[in-house]
Amino acid sequence: MLASVLAVVALVVGAFQGWIAFRTGDKLTLHSLTQNNFGATNDIVKSVGGLSILLALIAVVALVDPSAWLTRLAGAAAVVVSVMFAVEAFRHYGHQFDATLHGTRPGFWLELGAGVVLLIAGSFGSRSTVVAVDENSQTLVEARG
């Protein structure tokens, strides 16, 4: 649970950090995930940072889910957003890996790291075991949930 909380904090902090040399996540349009122009927006709902905050809210709601499938979903979505951004950054920097690696900023790395942490934390969700004893036949019946 602590890992999930830290991942949520990383998602929210990363939403307001720089994602690329000249743009923070809350100013980076959602089109940046599919186009390499990295345009600006003043509407946080239509920004990459807003999407990151939405994923953080999903991860917060997932804290009450004992099966942890929602945690894994939020983690997978964060990793997908990171990969989509990385592909466009790679295209933006002329298909040069070194330039892409140095051009991405902490917001991107926080998003990617939080996604991986949520995926791992979701793998350790609580599993319930119900044990029932049939009094007539004295047999033990076990059901896993």
Digit-coded pLDDT (tens) for 9-26 = 999 999 999 999 889 999
Domains held by the chain: number? 1
Q: Are the CB atoms for 127 and 144 separated by under 8 Å?
A: yes
Q: Which domain holds residue 73?
A: 2-144
Digit-coded pLDDT (tens) for 90-137 = 999 999 999 998 989 999 999 999 999 999 999 886 655 555 655 665
What does the pLDDT read at residue 19? Answer: 94
Mean pLDDT over all residues of the chain? 89
**What global pTM score does this model have?**
0.83
Inform me whether the pLDDT recorded for 145 exceeds 60: no
In this prediction, residues 40-68 reach a mean pLDDT of 94
pLDDT band at 40 (very low <50, low <70, confident <90, very high): very high
Digit-coded pLDDT (tens) for 98-107 = 999 898 999 9
